[in-house]
Each structure stands twice: as C-alpha cells, then as structure tokens.
Chain A
Amino acid sequence: MPEAPRPVAGEAGTEAAPAYRGAVIIEWPPRCPYAMSGCAVEIFDAATGKPFTTVMATGITVRTDADANLSADLVMFAGQDGEPLFGGEPELDGDAWKQLGTGVFSFLVSEMRVREPAQRRKP
C-alpha cells in the first residue's frame, strides 16, 4: 500500500497551526464593583509555573467557536533575534539596548485563575 502523502501546511484541507510560543496561566484579580484594572492581571508559564515579567500588555482572544481553543496574544519584550524574552536581563552590549523591542506572541491558555481577595500580589 502506498504511503499517504503528508499534509503540507497551507495546502487545501490543512491549515498551518498558529505559532504558539507555549502555554500560559492567566491570573485575574478578584471581583471589582465596576471594572478591574489591567495592571492587576498576572501571567504564568504553564509548564514551569513561573511568572512572566516581560509582558507589557495582554490581549486575550477567546473564540467561543466549538473548534477553537483559548489563546492569548501577549505584548512582550523581544530580544534582538525577535524572540520573546521570558525573564532575566537581556545580554546586550553598548547601545544595543536601544534595539530592544517588543513583539506580539501567541500562547495557548491552559488555565484561568482568580486571585483571592486577601491574596496580595508578590512584588
């Protein structure tokens, strides 16, 4: 029996998967009377449990279609190679820090959490 051809991204019937950079946990602040502040939202790496400290803004796209999963587009610092920085300090020489940019990177969302009211954010 001849081997079935492997699907190629972009061909009819197949779709290139979005370039997800990993999976994240999003922690929301407790209930607010009218609206919650975006600066109280925290993002954690789902694999390591460590917080992302390089996220500047979060746009979480939720599709309620049955065939779509929750994903989050995070505005993060990016290194000179254009890849997202996940923490620490970039190793840059001289004025190279001026080239430090940002980028929008897509992540799968594996968990949503809500912080307890008495629970304070870690500095």
Chain B
Amino acid sequence: MAVKLTIAGREPFRSFARGAADAAAMFATLTGDELDALPGAALFGIARLRGAIAGLADGEPGESALPREEPDAYRGVIAIEWPPPNGASPYSSMPGCLVSVTDALTGKPIMTCTKIIVHADAGALVTADLTMFADADGEPLLDGEPVIDGDGFRTGVFPFLVSEMRVRHA
C-alpha cells in the first residue's frame, strides 16, 4: 500500500509554495503607514518573501531560488525507534539491527525494511530513504510475501517523511 502525502490537496512543496504566495499577496495589501509600523526584521522578511515569490504567477520561480525540481514522491510518514544508549563509553556505538520503523499514520511496524538512510539537512524536512521489499509492481511491500527477482527478493528505495523519533527504554 502506497501512501501519498498531501496537504490541503497538494504535495507538501506545492502546499508550501501556495501558502507563501498567499502570504505575499496579503502583505501586498498593507498600506505605507502599516508597513512603517513594522520592525525592520519584518520588512526584510517580507522583501525576501516577495523576491522568492516573484514570477510564480508566470510559472517561473524568483531569483532567491525556491527549488524548481519536482518534490520526491514520499510514500508515507514514519516514526523511527532507536535503541537506548549503550552507556559504557561514549564510543560504544549502537547496532543498526535494533532500529525499528513504524508507519506514523497506522501505528503498524514496517517489517520489510532492510536499510535506513536518514537525511537531516538544515534547510529541509527530515526524510528517510528506506530500502524495502517491493511487490510485483515495484511498490513498497508492507505485508505479504516478498517477490523473488533474479537471485533474491525484489527491493527498492522509497523516500518517507519522518514525523517522530523515539528512543526505546533500556
């Protein structure tokens, strides 16, 4: 089962862009006196927002570079549960086999994941690329029998949004 996340009927980036455009339009209705009453930091923010939005009506992002590439087709939202700290030494690291992944919407564990790569860039949302078993259509397999493909099970790498990190109690 593939879950496609939408916010207000749009994918997250399009929803964000629409919201930013609405905010820019609202700021455009402010009078000169109202703008004068705002602190400098707010005026700076409004100017940056206008720069980012400029041209969106024509389908062209502004100079300050809202990304133009299509967003990843996230397959859902997950929570990741990490093992407790080992405790003996700061250098006693944690084995990856103790990490578990749960579907944040249904609360069901995802047992078909073989590898997790979490991306936490400062300017983006926290996402995770899950290497999972795939079904006959190449979609992530959340339950059921894996598909034999060549010498092994069919797998794929699927991006997910991460909504929660948990730490298991010792």
Contact = CB atoms under 8 A, between A and B. Distances in A.
Chain A's interface size range is 35 or more
A57 B123 CA distance: 8
B91 A38 contact: no
A44 B77 CA distance: 26
A99 interface: no
A35 B120 contact: no
Interface residues of B, number: 40
B99 A62 contact: yes
B94 A37 contact: no
Contacts of A47: 90-91
Given A37-B125, A38-B119, A39-B123, A64 B163 contact: no
B117 A110 contact: no
Nearest to A75: B121
Interface of A: 23, 28, 31-39, 41, 46-47, 56-66, 68-71, 108-114
What 10 A-B pairs are tightest by C-beta distance, nearest first? A46-B90, A111-B85, A28-B165, A112-B82, A35-B161, A69-B93, A31-B164, A58-B120, A108-B93, A60-B118
